[in-house]
Amino acid sequence: MWKSRQKLTLKHFILFFKKQPPGRLIVLGFAVVILLGTVLLLLPVSIKDGVQVTFIDALFTSTSAVCVTGLIAIDVADHFTVFGQAVVAMLIQVGGLGVTSIGVGLILAAKKRVGLKGRVLVKEALNVDSFKGMVRLVKSILMTTLCFELVGAILSYIVFVQDYPPLKALGISVFHSIAAFNNSGFDILGGMRNLIPYQSDLLLNLTTCGLIIAGGLGFLVILDVVKKRSFKKLCFHSKVVITTTLLLLVIGTLLLKATEEISWLGAFFQSVSARTAGFSTYPIGSFTNAGLFTLIILMFIGASPGSTGGGIKTSTFFVLIQEVRSLFTKKHVGAFHRSITTEAISKASMISLLSVLLVCVGTFCLCILEPQFSFVQLLFEEVSAFGTVGLSTGITPDVSPAGKLVLIFTMFAGRVGTFTLLSMWVDRPAPSARYTEESIIIG
């Protein structure tokens, strides 16, 4: 009797799973991983002796790791054991690659066939246009990630082994490489220092920047570059992403150097890191309002689609700029001898509007809950959470539990995407009937 009931429950669960739209499954997948990570971080084996980790801090850390953000309410190195730190690294890896990619990878490892539902989920998660070569794409993504993180760990080890015992230096290097490639600003150096002790180390700075940029470009762009090896032969999406990324890096570096008393290396590093990575080689709390505003803009734009980063994405920003340009020049919206579809323009506008609304509502809530902090500090914290960046002016540990819940939701929404989060409630087809169109005065 009990076994038959168990089989019936399992059957109902499978049927329920199959009926859910892709957006809802992706959101639920991330939520389940976050809750599982919270439980693991609260285990006695994860917490160091003599320190206390509350549920809200464990939930915050797990969310920040899965959403590859890097905001920390408690220092990972000072509060968690090696096991706990390994859990955080695992959560970062799962969050960066995406729950669906990891799931498909496990299915392939078990030598099972990936069904249509799995292919649909991967297509939705990576923003791919077709189902063609989906399994091969996942294999390439997993192999690309392994290669980048292996090289990053080796180069980082050369630096860290000079200050730590070999075994500990190896652990720090692997953790740092995973965090950097997945655009998550976590570190296990302790003392809430991040990479400030290494602000002049050229090798570590460039290695970290290389991993961040590669992870932020997106897997599709990386694979396209490896395959084509020529900018002219790249697809339209890759050209847009690479061009926008380079422009943002250059402009961000120049603005930070002009507004802050930091080196050129430091300005370049912070310009790269602000695009969803969250590492810092200078105390962000000491930056001027102009410097903080520059970082806020970079964090809001974020990385690229199909990458390990957040934000509204470089391609969205590019489309908006081209739309504005077309209004002044009276030319078609496009670039590189290609036109941008009306659907892409509408989606870019909607994502931007939803993102602005999310940041505004979140900042408003923080202003009510955390009146002891300035507006700039709270706006910076909210945008950092939305862009899954992890940079902070230093107020995160002092934010109240209610404020942390606001940031947790913002990080979650920023990682799964406002569009995906909204689409999880939409499981009905669009109505066939349409109303008569009529003009409306705009502006």
Q: What is the DSSP string of 40-102?
A: HHTSGGGB-TT----HHHHHHHHHHHHTT----SS-HHHHB-HHHHHHHHHHHHHHHH-HHHH
Helices (H) and strands (E) in the chain, counts: 19, 2
- 231 vs 224, 235, 245, 321, 366, CA distance in Å? 10, 9, 14, 21, 44
The answer as to whether 428 is a domain residue is no
Give Dmax (Cα) for the chain.
74
The answer as to whether 192 is a domain residue is yes
The answer as to whether 7 is a domain residue is no
The answer as to whether 55 is a domain residue is yes
Residue 127: count of CB within 10 angstroms of its CB:
17
The answer as to whether 3 is a domain residue is no
The answer as to whether 402 is a domain residue is yes
At 115 the pLDDT is: 56
At 43 the pLDDT is: 92
Give the 3-state secondary structure of residue 3: helix
What is this structure's pTM? 0.85
Q: Which of 26, 93, 90, 88 minimizes the C-alpha distance to 57?
A: 88
The answer as to whether 270 is a domain residue is yes
Q: Which residues of the chain have pLDDT under 50?
A: 1-3, 6, 8, 10, 13, 110
The answer as to whether 297 is a domain residue is yes
Span 367-416, pLDDT tens digits? 999 999 999 999 999 999 998 888 888 898 899 999 999 999 998 888 87
Domain of residue 203, residue span: 18-131+140-420
The structural domain count of the chain equals 1
